[in-house]
């Protein structure tokens, strides 16, 4: 297992579902249970206990720790894509099968960036704050899969 971890660390961001997208980052500190937390008609997070409560995940680059909860949440990801209210790409810190397979069926690019993987991954995660402009292109070399055009207030605030 150690050798696998080492090779992943050397490689940086890991692609679970390939694709290309660009948009504004929406960042959550909490796992997302797509079944029951996301309104599949509107793409709005409707769980009052969630830090994205009331926010729409439509057309954003959605950054969150991982999926959680029911395995059927994969269908919700497909449903929000069918209804044109899905994120353009998702970036998680840990892989889980619900989000991975939902994105695979929906054709939503999905990248794993674990801050413990490398200094570079940690730095990418720190830059992926709500409001930042980010682009994902899985055909690029691994170090350039995610590019961030900073200048968001929260990121600047974090640096300052």
Tokens at residue 26, please? 């929406």
The total number of residues shown for the chain amounts to 160
Can residue 14 be called a binding residue for another protein (CB under 8 A)? Answer: yes
List the catalytic residue out of 70, 71, 127, 153.
70
CB atoms within 10 A of CB 116: 9
46 to 105, contacts with another protein by CB under 8 A? 66, 68, 70-75, 78-79, 82-83, 94-98, 100-105
Active site residue 70: yes
Q: Which of 12, 26, 32, 40 binds another protein (CB under 8 A)?
A: 40
* 145 CB-side CA count, 13 A: 25
How would you class 65 by CB atoms within 10 Å of its CB: exposed for 0-12, middle for 13-18, buried for 19 or more?
Answer: middle
- Where in the sequence numbering do the catalytic residues fall? 70
Binding residues for another protein, rule: CB under 8 A, are 1, 4, 8, 14-17, 35-36, 40, 66, 68, 70-75, 78-79, 82-83, 94-98, 100-105, 110, 112
């Amino acid at each position: 297992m150690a050798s696998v971890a080492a090779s992943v660390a050397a490689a940086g961001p890991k692609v679970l579902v390939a694709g290309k997208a660009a948009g504004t980052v929406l960042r959550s500190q909490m796992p997302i249970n797509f079944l029951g937390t996301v309104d599949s008609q509107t793409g709005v997070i409707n769980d009052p206990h969630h830090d994205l409560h009331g926010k729409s995940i439509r057309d954003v680059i959605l950054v969150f720790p991982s999926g959680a909860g029911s395995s059927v949440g994969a269908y919700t990801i497909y449903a929000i894509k069918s209804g044109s209210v899905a994120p353009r790409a998702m970036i998680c810190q840990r892989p889980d099968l619900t989000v991975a397979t939902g994105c695979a069926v929906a054709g939503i690019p999905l990248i794993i960036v674990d801050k413990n993987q490398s200094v570079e991954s940690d730095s990418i995660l720190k830059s992926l704050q709500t409001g930042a402009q980010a682009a994902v292109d899985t055909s690029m070399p691994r170090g350039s899969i995610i590019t961030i055009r900073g200048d968001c207030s929260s990121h600047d605030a974090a640096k300052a």
